[in-house]
Amino acid sequence: MKTIILLFTILISFSSIGQVNDEKISNNDKNEYFKLIYQKCPTADILKLESKEDYIEIEYLCDGKYFEIGIKNSEVLFIESKADKSIVPKEDIRSKLEKKFEGWLMDEITLITTNDTSFLKVEILKDGLEQNLFFTTDGKWYKSKSIVTSDNWEINKLSQSSLYQDSNYDLLSPDSIYNLPDVLREVSGIALSNDAKTIFCVQDELGAVFEYDYINEEIKNIHRFTDIGDFEGISIIGDLVYVLRSDGNIFYFNYKNKKEIKQFMISLNSFNFESLAYDEINNNFLVISKDGVLNKPESKRIVYQFPINKPNETSIVFEVDILKINEIIAASLTNLGSSDVLFNPSEIAIHPITREIYILSASDRILTIYNNKGLKSVFPLPAELYYKPEGLAFFKNGDLLISSEGDKRGIVKGNIMLFKYKK
């Protein structure tokens, strides 16, 4: 009888929830997710269901209290709710904020529970910006970690392949990891300063360039250049900073003497660009669209170039063949089983020594390398390290930087990883 009542409750709730309309999720899967919710709270009022990059997120009320829950493969990854005042060590947290975040105001505090631990998320505010910080329930700093791992591309599986053993970079073990402040959780593009002492960063939702001092692990300067847009790529040429918006609009300004901000539009039939690289030898920009382009097969992505001062004079450099990428993965990484990657490029960069072109895909976690003969190497990247890899940059000696976004919730921090070049 209880089972019948539970199923009836699920069906009634499902039919009455207006926000649960994510077309990526089948009705059968939705019912399975709802069962998990009702097991935890039989009287739950489900507010919203949404498909994230790696998990399903559901918002619901239980006895009037608001919860958010993350689910993957029918398992609960986390539950977030407002923290009860009795468990919050406010004075311990406040003393830490005074030392490291002077002038920031403490706002909402929530409790996040995972399979093996519980910790506090503290939202702080200053000058219109907000950050999420994480603390243990006894007031110590909590080091967040990935809440999801790749189903197939795990470090222990990939490390068995000679592909990684013979690589010029140990892509499964960074030499250094720089955890970024929360304002750069959605870091989308990086470029090195001329003296290689700071990393210029852009993030998806802010029209601002952040100078990140990776030696002291702090933001040195913020250069605001516009308000609206989805900002993805960045290049530094002398004292000029060039920032690519996803619609193909490029903003540029002198970051040492920002008197004037200029912009131009790339003359290409696409509105989803995430990649911008400067080729200093040919004085060209390289760009590649995240999606396919008109009159080309869906399995192709096109690398274009154009002179730095002539964005209308675009030409094709080469084509990225997604089918070929899948063939190489299947042939060189047989222990992973079948794989069908989409490969939507998130960044492009030119190796300063070999002149090989590196192209990164964030959603599929793939790094490809092209030389003058075509596709040379394909490296799947494990989610344990690369939550959402979106940025590439090289030191002149060949050392590689890869930036990776954190998750929207802030549990996984954005970071930049350093990989030493092995000749």
| H-run or E-run covering 325 | helix 322-332
Q: In 1-144, where do the E strands start and end?
A: 45-51, 56-62, 65-72, 75-82, 105-114, 118-126, 129-135
Give residue 237's pLDDT band: very low, low, confident or very high (50, 70, 90): very high
Q: Under a CB-based contact definition with an 8 Å cutoff, are residues 387 and 160 in contact?
A: no
pLDDT tens track for 396-405: 999 999 999 8
Count of CB atoms within 10 A of residue 90's CB?
12
| pLDDT value for 160 | 83
Token output for 345: 């490029």
- Percent of the chain scoring above 90 in pLDDT: 39
User: What does pLDDT average to over the chain?
Assistant: 84
Give residue 333's pLDDT band: very low, low, confident or very high (50, 70, 90): confident
Give residue 16's pLDDT band: very low, low, confident or very high (50, 70, 90): very low
Rounded CA separation 270/407 (Å): 27
Collect all residues with Cβ–Cβ distance below 8 Å to 98 and sequence separation of at least 6: none
| pLDDT value for 13 | 39
Q: Which residue has the higher pLDDT, 235 or 131?
A: 235
Q: Under a CB-based contact definition with an 8 Å cutoff, are residues 162 and 212 in contact?
A: no
Q: Which of 83-97, 202-216, 321-335 has the lowest mean pLDDT?
A: 321-335
Rounded CA separation 357/75 (Å): 39
**Which residue, 46, 155, 120, is CA-closest to 410?**
120
| Number of residues that this document lists for the chain | 423
Say yes or no to pLDDT of 46 above 50. yes
pTM of the model: 0.76
| pLDDT value for 22 | 59
| pLDDT value for 102 | 84
**Which residue, 356, 402, 400, 359, is CA-closest to 378?**
359
| pLDDT value for 177 | 92
Q: Could you tell me which residues are beta bridge partners of residue 378?
A: 368
Specify the CATH class of 2-82 in words. alpha beta
b/e map of 162-174 (b: 16 or more CB within 10 Å)?
ebbeebbbebbeb
pLDDT tens track for 119-168: 999 998 887 777 788 889 999 988 766 666 555 678 888 888 888 888 99
| pLDDT value for 214 | 92
| pLDDT value for 7 | 37
| pLDDT value for 171 | 94
At 165, which amino acid appears?
Q
∠196-198-199 over CA atoms, to 5°? Answer: 100
Q: Which residue has the higher pLDDT, 268 or 387?
A: 387
Going by CATH, does the domain composed of 155-419 fall within 3.40.50.1980? no
Output the CA torsion sign for 75, 80, 81, 84. positive
CA atoms within 13 A on the CB side of 326: 12
Q: Which residue has the higher pLDDT, 237 or 227?
A: 237
